[in-house]
Each structure stands twice: as structure tokens, then as C-alpha cells.
Structure 1
């Protein structure tokens, strides 16, 4: 085997590395990253090109179907996914959030079963966020994450076993431009996965769990195969037995919904199930069929989990997972408490209760929340209706989902000017925060947040006239993507609003200007609303359409320093 020094030839670090971060960016860790990159980046890029070809087929009218070439996998009743791993047998309530130190402590102190530490949608991938997040998880696993912030101390609880830690790396489409391997930026996925695995795989095993991952944004079983290959190489290289890793796949693209069994099959020795990534799933439906007028959806508030295409997706996911013996996880409750309006808060929490009751009755084995207050509600409902650790025994053999069911866009409702303004508000609010390095943000209401890289309270009040589902949401990349994709779609197809106004490029630009002027006027000095609007305007007129907002904005938050050879860090 080549020496570390030889492997590091051609590896360059452009980001600033503090003394505290050197324990993460060690020569051994960087050599491991280089090994992953050189082994898998070419395949990653091929799969991304395959996505473009698939999009071109869809634009020509070729709708997805269940793959004929993998029919034998779906028809074979004998194979199963891996049995639930330690700490993942019961996952009834999972909390999610970014990896800043305060969030890590608060999440691990929450009364939940697992914590998904997120390097993806709820984290803006600045170099500082990504590396400090790795430091924080390294310290948390070793029970050395306690710290002081002003007069307040943040300490891990010692009266119980903490929630099981699951890490979500970035999707295959994202890069880490602060590390170059042979002149090319590293895969963000392999960077996040590789650093966490290298430092923590053996340590987590000593402590009785992990390493466990959530895998985002996949569009095919071939992309799951790539993750499985990376898992095997990582385990072999670090002396960890194969099958130690577990990966839960977020089914958050419409194309992945047609390949759920195949995705579990590719990861079967490492599979811990599938998750309903609901907001990204809606985004994917709009994105993939954005040029088809038959897929135009009404205001986002009307696209609930009970509309035909969403209901079919949920039922098929639960049936598929339980058929193969793995968990079927429910989706995110993104609401956070409204502290100064009890009536609005009660209404929002009732919505959470109804959503979690629907999930547990459908057969889900657990659910996601974004705030500890919601964990109480979700726990109460799942404890009442799921007295067992999971519901793998609920087979849902009554379910018969066809391709037409997954593509049934019979969604009642209309496009309204209020819906357009809400989408503009959410998109601008998220994008402005993102270019400041913040990956999740409350929009439209003065709220306390469980995203501790923000101030405890937003610095200004931004209130819409009516309290509704959106006024108490923690928005992240997924909801921003839904917002901009709907705006693009409505403009592209010239829909007419309920008020009788045709949505045109000029109309969208007018409302965007009004929205950004209003937001910027109320925000503190130094805000980046006009910068966000420059990018957003290119995305809402039915013309240009970026693959992802995060890719579109990424160059605004990179901070390359002097290039340093990895071997000399």
C-alpha cells in the first residue's frame, strides 16, 4: 500500500486551518479523502451526467416507469436489508439540525431517539461550518463537547444515554472547493463522509453504535451503488468489518421513488431504511416536470401529504421498506413554537399532531422534528399508537401503487398572489441567510429558533398579515427550492391567479422588487437581500433554471486562502 506521503501528492488545501481544526485535517485523514476521491469521483461525475440525460428524456415527454431491467430484484421475495443496528431499533422521534456546537449539545440533550447532524440542507457549506462541524461531532462522541457561551454553560446530560447520532453528508451534486485532489475540487459527499468516518468509525463502535448516515438527493439505484462501494472501501481501509455502516436513504426525488426497492437492494448489507423527504420530493416533482404544463401545482399550502401523488409515495415507501425488513421513516415537522401568540401556536401544534398521527397510522416507524417542543408531541402520538419499537410487521400488502399514481397531479387549489408573495419571501429570506453562512432560518415571524448559529431571536420582526403554516416554519434549502421552482413554473406556463392576473416575467419581477425592498428596509445594515435578489431574479421568470440553489450560490460563500500542500499542514 502506498505511503501517506505518496497519497498526499496532488492534494491541496485552500481553506484556513486553525489549531483546533488540525485534529480533523490530519495527514492520515486527508490521505483517506484522497483515496475516496480518486476511487469514486469519476463515477460520481458520470452519474451526474446521467441525470442530465434523464432530464432531456423527460423534457421530450418520456415519463418514468418502474425499471424493466430490475424487475427480477422487485420480484425476488428472498432478499432483505440489514437487521436494525444498535441504537436504530427504535427511531420513533428523530431531531435534525446543523452541526454548530450549541446545536449539537442541545440536540443530544433532547428527549428523542436519534439526532441527524446535518452537513447538507440546514448547513450553509462555508469552510468554517464544515470543518467546525466535524470538530463538534468528534468532541461530542468523546463526551468533550461542553462549552461556555457568555455566562451560559452548555453541557451534555449525564443522566441517560444520548440519542443515537446519524450524520447527513452533502449530496452527490455538491463539491468542496477548499480541497483539491489532482487539481479537482473534492466531492462534498465524500469529504463529509470521509472525515467523519475516518475519525469516528472505530470510536463509535467502541461506544456501541454507528457509524450511521443519512444519504440525500439520490436519483437512482446506481447512485446508491456508489455509496455502497464507498462504504466497503472505507471499512476495508480502516479495518472496520463490512456491514458496520448503516445508511438511511432519503427518498426526496421523484425518480428515486420509482427505484426504492433497487436502492435498498444496492445498500442491503448497510441499509437502515428509507425516509420521506417531503419538501425535496415536491421540489423534485416540479423540477423534473417543470416544462410539462400537466404538472403545474397550486399554492404550496395546497400540496399536502394527502394529495394523490404524495399519498402514493408514502404508501409505496412504507410497503417497500417493510417488505425488505427496514425502517420507513416519516417526514419533517418544520414548525417551531410561536412564543408571543398562543392561538397561532395552538393552531400550528394541532397541525403537527395531525401530521404525526397520519404517519404512525400509515405504518411509519418514526418521524422527524426540528425543535424539542415538537418532540414532545411526536413522542406522545407515537407512544400511544406504536407501543412496539417499530412497525416492521405492518406489511401494507393492501397497497397497489402504479406509475400513474406516483404522477397523479390532481391537486385541488389555485395560484394566488399571496402564494406568490410567500414564495418570494421564503426564497429571498433563505437565500439571504445562506450567503451569510446560515443554512436554516425562521421566516416571516419573530421566533426563537433551534438553529443556534443564528441569534436567539431574529433582530427584526417580519410578519405577514395572517398566521398560517408558513409563519412558524424553520425554512431550509428544500422549502426554498419549492418556492423558487413554483415561481419558475407559474411564470413559464403563464398561469392565471385566482385574482385574474396572468403570471408573466414582468409581474414576477415587479413583485420581487417590492418584496426585496420591504425586507431590506426592515433588516439590519449589512444584510444581503439585494445580492440574494440578483440571483433569485434569474430563477423566477420561467427562463434560466439552476440545478440547485445551493450550487448557484456556492461561490458566494467559499473563502479560499493560500494553497497549502496537504502533506505540510
Structure 2
């Protein structure tokens, strides 16, 4: 039977074998409906972010909205979590490639957060094959054969509960154009996954669960509530079938935690402390405040006062509202071939998870299957039940606490490390890798964002290191040149080819030396991924 694509739709990526099942006309029609109904609202929300940024640049600081004081003061709770989301003591996160999907679902973690956002480079291949992988995983049709051992892996019967993180509202999917406009990447990822899998998930006693990234306000939470409600109505689902956890990874969102939960109260089961993006957001939103410049990123951890205030506020508000308070990601990963370094990495992960469990978090993230038992033990020692939601904690964190800069120093070593890791990560991203092991840490886009944001802020504000080195344009240019040459000569560098290293160094120069601060480096980097993209085909019929 031949069918045609919806009117006005152009697909600018090739249809490889298997892609037609995901990009079927009826699925595209669902996406078109989301686009036409919500894209104008999405763009208006992005404009609101810039208006708020103008206030920050003029000297304002984030504060709790006076107009929503009644929401913060009144008693209400979110809808209770479904059975397979009540115990989330360990969640593993990672990209949506086939090997990761199989290994993560079999890792022993309670949940797997399949990440289309910071851990995935949004090439057409990665995005569509990621959707295929998740569709097959839900139906237990996925397998993976290890090239070295020849061993074949399938998803176990006790697989982790699947949660999907679509891309943020700021990103577009340029390979799908509706009447000449790219579709929102967030709606593209969300819509395809939901459309193809909600029935199959229901059969398994689960549901369509999502992590929502980069939200900055209650209005953005309301946007998603409207999207969920509309999607449920169109697809014939009961209200509240879709469930979500909101990543609190932006500074403005911390001042609207109650409001975000309230807007999503029929859908939201928890908030997560996305620590690395949160640090980036602190730098980005307060970039014009010379009294709030952060020290080396290695000195900014979850124990510094503003990060501690943020995480404890999340815990207190979540438990008051009946929601999970999820801890964040410790980026340490196992170190092969160095027993002492490996033991140190495991101990750092253990200490981080013990702190989270003791503080009152209901679960946490890890980036590697070998870390699941360590994180699980930390929470098992504290939690006698599936979570700690019934344990009420005083809501702490004044407005001043949440923006208080930590003590620390800016060092030349720290600046050079920022340049090195940014080039390495961006080069890997341009080569199609969204999550990358760099110096025994699992890094994603948030790492590079922190690195380039700090370099920009230090340069613009005339910051000197603790040894009186001025981090001006000349110093940064020379340091980038040196780092680029060293990476190109590094025999152990495997993330990309030399062309991507050079392109990454050029992009870092553009980001750090520009007069204007780029909102997201992935927007600039996506220009490189889609450079020269043409209408290579019009989807007209399917077998």
C-alpha cells in the first residue's frame, strides 16, 4: 500500500533501512500537529528567556515570584508515581546507541534515562537509530553482539524502567521541515517516541516516561503540560498516562520549584538536580555580575554553599509536594589498568551518593554499570522503603543563598584544562559522539558548556589567575593553539579525527572570543553538523 507524507513536510535526511518504520506518514502527521499547535508558543518562551537575561545583565538577580506566593504557601501534592517509578534509587544515564541501550537496561539500575539531549550528538543517524533502538528494546526485540568477544546480548526480563530525555526547547531538528520551518527537536523526540510506544509500554505495565531538560520557568512547565494533555487526547490516553521528571539544571528554575511542580501536577513525579548544567546556567545567567565569577570548575562541587542550598531546596519542596527528589550525576567512571586510580574514583562516587542519600534524595544517577552497586548500597543503607518522600525536610535556601558565589581561585592550570576538555569534547560531538570519557570522567555537553562559559566570562571581566596571569584574548588564543597541537599529537586520543579537532578549536575560539555570549554551544555546533543541508529528498511513498 502506498501512502504519502503530510502536506508541507520535507525530510532532509536519507531513509536508511528501517527508518521508514519510524518516519511513517501517520507518525509524521502527529508531529506536524504538535508543531503547528505549539511551535509559536515555544519560540515565545525562548524570547522570554532573553528578556529575563537582559534584566540580569542590567544588574538584577533571580528571585521568587511575588505573584505565585499563594502556590508556594498552599497545600497540594502531585499525582502519585506509577508502580514502576516509585523506587528510583539508582538510575543509569547515557546515549541511545544500541550497545548503551542494551547494557543500561541490563545494568541492575532501577531506571535507564535514554538521553537524546546532552549525551547524544544529534546527527540524523543517531536520532533516528536511537528511536529504532528504543522501540525494539520496549518490545524486547533488540540485541547487541560484542565485536571483540562475539558474545550476543539481549535485554533481560528484569530490565530497568525506561525514561526518555528529549532535546531541549531551544533546539531544532533541521532534517524535518514543516512549511519551510524546522520542527522543534523536543517535540520531534517526544512525539516519535510517544506515538510508537505508548501501547507497547502499557502492555508491559509501564508507560511513556520523560525527563524534561533545561526548563527555566513555570511557563515552560505549563508548555509541557499542554503538550502532554493534547497528545493524550489525540492518542486516546487517559489523563496522566504520560509522566515526567523535570531536570532542575538552570538557575532561574530553582526559584520556581513549587510552581513547576504545580503546573505539571498531573504529570510530574519528581525533580532532578542536574548539577553540571546548573553550574553552566549560573555562569550564563550571572555572566555580567563581576562579584559572582566562579573559580576553576574543579573547585565547584555539590558541597559549595550555592550548590548545597540548591539541592536541599529541591529535596524539601519535592517531599512536601509528594515528588521524588533525584540526585545528580557523579561523572567518575572506572579506570582500566590503574587499580589505585580506580579505587579512588569508586570512593569518590560512594561518598557523593552517601551524601545524597543522607541529605534526603530518593535516588541518583550513575554513568557506568559498574557504579550501580556502589550507588545502590549507599541508598540501601539509608532507605528502608522505595523512597524517602514521606521524610519531610525543612525547605532551606534563601534567594541570597542560591546565588552566593563560592570561595576559590582561578588558576592557569584550570583555564588550560577548560580549553583541553572543550576541544576534545566538541571534536567528539562533531564526529557523532555525545558522551565521551575524558581523563577518567564521563563528559557530556554540559562539561564543554561550563568550560567555554568560564573562559568567556574570565576574558570579558579581565580576570587574572592566582599567579597574576591575565586571561585576555591573546592568552586564550595562544592556549587554544597549544591545546589543539597537543591533542592532534596525542596517540591516545580516539574521539574524532584531526579535522574535527581543528573545527572544534575554531569553534571554541569563536565562542570564547566573541563579544556576544552564545546561549548554547550546541546551537553553534549544530550549524556545523547541518552545514550545506539541502532538500535531498521529499518523502512521497512507503511500501
Q: TM-score, length-normalised on structure 1?
A: 0.92
Q: Which residue of 2 aligns with 1:30?
A: 28
Would you say the 8 A contact 1:146–1:153 is kept in 2?
no
Q: Alpha-carbon deviation of 1:540? A: 2.1
Q: Alpha-carbon deviation of 1:565? A: 3.9
Q: Alpha-carbon deviation of 1:538? A: 1.7
From 498, 510, 520, the equivalent of 2:466 is 498
Match status 1:507 vs 2:470: no
Q: Alpha-carbon deviation of 1:5? A: 8.0
Would you say the 8 A contact 1:108–1:156 is kept in 2?
no
From 537, 550, 556, the equivalent of 2:509 is 537
Q: Which residue of 2 aligns with 1:472?
A: 440
Task: Measure, in 2, the Cα distance between the counterparts of 1:49 and 1:147.
Answer: 43
> Structure 2 matches for 1:143-222, cutoff 5 A?
143-150=140-147, 152-158=150-156, 160-222=157-219
From 45, 49, 69, the equivalent of 2:47 is 49
Task: Measure, in 2, the Cα distance between the counterparts of 1:96 and 1:508.
Answer: 33
Task: Measure, in 2, the Cα distance between the counterparts of 1:370 and 1:152.
Answer: 24
Q: Alpha-carbon deviation of 1:400? A: 3.0
Q: Alpha-carbon deviation of 1:490? A: 1.1
Task: Measure, in 1, the Cα distance between the counterparts of 2:222 and 2:269.
Answer: 15
Q: Per the alignment, in what secondary structure is the counterpart of residue 87 of structure 1?
A: helix
Q: Alpha-carbon deviation of 1:566? A: 4.2
Q: Alpha-carbon deviation of 1:157? A: 4.4
Would you say the 8 A contact 2:249–2:276 is kept in 1?
yes
Q: Which residue of 2 aligns with 1:251?
A: 248
Any unmatched runs of 5+ in structure 2? none
RMSD of the TM alignment (CA)?
A: 1.6
From 352, 367, 375, the equivalent of 1:378 is 375
Q: Alpha-carbon deviation of 1:346? A: 1.5
Q: Which residue of 2 aligns with 1:305?
A: 302
Q: Per the alignment, in what secondary structure is the counterpart of residue 8 of structure 1?
A: coil
Would you say the 8 A contact 2:14–2:536 is kept in 1?
no
Q: Which residue of 2 aligns with 1:68?
A: 66
Task: Measure, in 2, the Cα distance between the counterparts of 1:415 and 1:514.
Answer: 20
Match status 1:343 vs 2:315: no
Task: Measure, in 2, the Cα distance between the counterparts of 1:422 and 1:127.
Answer: 31
Q: Alpha-carbon deviation of 1:314? A: 0.6
Q: Which residue of 2 aligns with 1:465?
A: none
Would you say the 8 A contact 1:248–1:272 is kept in 2?
yes
Task: Measure, in 2, the Cα distance between the counterparts of 1:531 and 1:563.
Answer: 25
From 271, 274, 278, the equivalent of 1:277 is 274
> Structure 2 matches for 1:15-164, cutoff 5 A?
15-77=13-75, 79-150=76-147, 152-158=150-156, 160-164=157-161
Task: Measure, in 2, the Cα distance between the counterparts of 1:45 and 1:553.
Answer: 20
- Cα displacement string for residues 176-229 of structure 1 (whole angstroms, at most 9, x for unaligned residues): 000011110000000000000000011101110111000000111111111111
- Cα displacement string for residues 26-79 of structure 1 (whole angstroms, at most 9, x for unaligned residues): 0110000000000100000000011111101110011111001111111111x2
- Cα displacement string for residues 505-562 of structure 1 (whole angstroms, at most 9, x for unaligned residues): 1111111111111101225754411111111012223633211011011022137454
- Cα displacement string for residues 469-511 of structure 1 (whole angstroms, at most 9, x for unaligned residues): xx32111001111111111111111112112212111111111
Task: Measure, in 2, the Cα distance between the counterparts of 1:68 and 1:6.
Answer: 51
Task: Measure, in 2, the Cα distance between the counterparts of 1:490 and 1:484.
Answer: 10
Any unmatched runs of 5+ in structure 1? 444-470
- Cα displacement string for residues 3-41 of structure 1 (whole angstroms, at most 9, x for unaligned residues): x98981111111111231111000110000000000100
Q: Which residue of 1 aligns with 2:518?
A: 546
Match status 1:408 vs 2:404: yes
Would you say the 8 A contact 1:505–1:542 is kept in 2?
no
Would you say the 8 A contact 2:140–2:155 is kept in 1?
no
Would you say the 8 A contact 2:4–2:539 is kept in 1?
no
Q: Per the alignment, in what secondary structure is the counterpart of residue 412 of structure 1?
A: coil
Q: Which residue of 2 aligns with 1:231?
A: 228
Q: Which residue of 1 aligns with 2:314?
A: 317
Q: Per the alignment, in what secondary structure is the counterpart of residue 152 of structure 1?
A: coil
Q: Per the alignment, in what secondary structure is the counterpart of residue 518 of structure 1?
A: helix
